[in-house]
Structure 1
Amino acid sequence: MSSRTEKVIVITLAAVSLFSAFGMRFAFWGDEAGTFEIISESWHGFWRWFVEGEPHPPLYFALLKIWAIIFGKSEIALRMPSVLFYPLVVYLTWLLSRKIGLSQTGRLFAVGIVALHPSLWIHFRMARYYSMTTFLFLYNTILLFEVMEKGKWRWVVYGICLALLFWTNFPAYIVVPLHFFIIILRDRKRVGMWVVCNALALISAALPLLFLIKTTISYGEDAMPSIISLLMSLLYGVYSFLIGEARYPWQVATAIGLIAAIFLAIRGMVMRPKDSLVLFVGPVIVSLSIISLVFQKLGFIYINARLSFLFPMVAIGMAFGTERLRKGFLMIIMVMIGVGYIWGISGVITGKDYHNAVYVMPWKEIVNETKLLGVEAGICRDWGAIHYIKQKMDGYLMRDYMYRDLPDGKIAFISRSGAFKMLGWNENVYKELETGRGKPVAKLEYIKENPIVLCLKKQFLKYDFPDYITTVYIFPEIEVNNVSRVSR
Structure 2
Amino acid sequence: MKKVIAIFAIALSLRLIGLNQSLWLDEAVTAVVVRDLSWTQIMTNFAPQDFHPTSYYLLMKLWTTFFGLSEISLRMPSILFSLGVGWLLYRLKGLWPAAFFLFNPLVIYYSQEARMYLMVTFLLTLAFYSLERKNAWLYCLAIILAFQTFYGAIFFIVGLMFYLLVIKNWRFLMLTFGSTLITVGMAMPLLWQQWHNSQEITALVVNWKNVLGTASLKNLLLIPLKFSIGRISFEPKAAYYLIAGLWTTMVWSRLKWRDPKAILLMTPLLLALVFSFVSPLLSYFRFLYLLPVLAILLNQGLKNNYLKIFILIGFIGFSLVYLLFPQFHREDWQSLARDLPEKTLVYGIVSSLEGINYYRPELLIKDLRFSALMAKQLLVVPYTAEIYGFDYQKRLIDLGYHQKRQQTYRQLVLETWVR
TM-score by length of 1: 0.69
Q: Hey, what does 1:426 align to over in structure 2?
A: none
Instruction: Report the CA distance shift for 1:8/1:289 in structure 2 as closer, same or farther (over 3 A).
Output: farther
Alignment partners' CA distance in 1, 2:356 and 2:70:
14
Q: Hey, what does 2:284 align to over in structure 1?
A: 304
Alignment partners' CA distance in 2, 1:261 and 1:52:
39
Once the two structures are superposed, the pairs formed by residues 429-448 of structure 1 within 5 Å of their partners are 441=393
Alignment partners' CA distance in 2, 1:89 and 1:248:
30
| Identity score, percent | 19
2:313 alignment partner, one of 334, 338, 354: 338
2:143 alignment partner, one of 162, 166, 178: 162
TM-fit CA distance, 1:126: 1.4
TM-score by length of 2: 0.79
Q: Hey, what does 1:352 align to over in structure 2?
A: 327
The one-letter code matched in structure 2 to 1:156 is W
Alignment partners' CA distance in 1, 2:412 and 2:194:
31
Q: Hey, what does 1:89 align to over in structure 2?
A: 85
Once the two structures are superposed, the pairs formed by residues 346-425 of structure 1 within 5 Å of their partners are 346-354=321-329, 356-368=330-342, 372-374=344-346, 401-402=354-355, 404=357, 409-411=362-364
Q: Hey, what does 2:379 align to over in structure 1?
A: none
Alignment partners' CA distance in 1, 2:7 and 2:115:
23
Are 1:282 and 2:266 counterparts? yes
Q: Judge conservation of contact 1:171–1:306 (CA < 8 Å) in 2.
A: yes
Q: Hey, what does 1:448 align to over in structure 2?
A: none
Q: Point out which structure has higher relative CO (alpha carbons under 8 A, 6+ apart).
A: 2
Alignment partners' CA distance in 2, 1:312 and 1:478:
53
Q: Hey, what does 1:150 align to over in structure 2?
A: none
Q: Judge conservation of contact 1:243–1:255 (CA < 8 Å) in 2.
A: no
Instruction: Report the CA distance shift for 1:317/1:336 in structure 2 as closer, same or farther (over 3 A).
Output: closer
Alignment partners' CA distance in 2, 1:263 and 1:90:
23
Q: SS at the partner of 1:374? A: strand
The one-letter code matched in structure 1 to 2:103 is L
TM-fit CA distance, 1:61: 0.7
Q: SS at the partner of 2:271? A: helix
1:203 alignment partner, one of 150, 167, 185: 185
Once the two structures are superposed, the pairs formed by residues 200-279 of structure 1 within 5 Å of their partners are 200-221=182-203, 229-248=215-234, 255-256=242-243, 258-269=245-256, 273-275=258-260, 277=262, 279=263
Q: Judge conservation of contact 1:268–1:276 (CA < 8 Å) in 2.
A: no
TM-fit CA distance, 1:357: 0.5
TM-fit CA distance, 1:322: 0.1
1:136 alignment partner, one of 117, 123, 126: 123
Are 1:171 and 2:152 counterparts? yes
Alignment partners' CA distance in 1, 2:100 and 2:110:
15
TM-fit CA distance, 1:260: 4.7
Q: Judge conservation of contact 1:366–1:375 (CA < 8 Å) in 2.
A: no
Q: Judge conservation of contact 1:234–1:288 (CA < 8 Å) in 2.
A: no
The one-letter code matched in structure 2 to 1:160 is L
CA offsets 1:172-209 (integer angstroms, 9 cap, x no match): 11222211122112234323343222212221222332
TM-fit CA distance, 1:477: 7.4
Instruction: Report the CA distance shift for 1:408/1:207 in structure 2 as closer, same or farther (over 3 A).
Output: closer
Q: Judge conservation of contact 2:232–2:328 (CA < 8 Å) in 1.
A: yes
Q: SS at the partner of 1:289? A: helix
TM-fit CA distance, 1:24: 1.7
Once the two structures are superposed, the pairs formed by residues 71-110 of structure 1 within 5 Å of their partners are 71-96=67-92, 98=93, 107-110=94-97
Instruction: Report the CA distance shift for 1:47/1:53 in structure 2 as closer, same or farther (over 3 A).
Output: same
Q: Judge conservation of contact 2:32–2:357 (CA < 8 Å) in 1.
A: yes
TM-fit CA distance, 1:353: 1.5
1:318 alignment partner, one of 298, 317, 331: 298
- Which segments of 5 or more consecutive residues in structure 2 lack a partner in the other structure? 372-381
Alignment partners' CA distance in 2, 1:403 and 1:430:
12
Q: Judge conservation of contact 2:101–2:291 (CA < 8 Å) in 1.
A: yes
Q: SS at the partner of 2:341? A: helix
TM-fit CA distance, 1:66: 1.5
2:167 alignment partner, one of 177, 186, 192: 186
Are 1:14 and 2:27 counterparts? no
Q: Judge conservation of contact 1:375–1:477 (CA < 8 Å) in 2.
A: no
Q: Judge conservation of contact 2:101–2:107 (CA < 8 Å) in 1.
A: yes
Alignment partners' CA distance in 2, 1:53 and 1:311:
29
Q: Judge conservation of contact 1:59–1:167 (CA < 8 Å) in 2.
A: yes
Q: Judge conservation of contact 1:80–1:125 (CA < 8 Å) in 2.
A: yes
Instruction: Report the CA distance shift for 1:112/1:238 in structure 2 as closer, same or farther (over 3 A).
Output: same
TM-fit CA distance, 1:170: 1.5
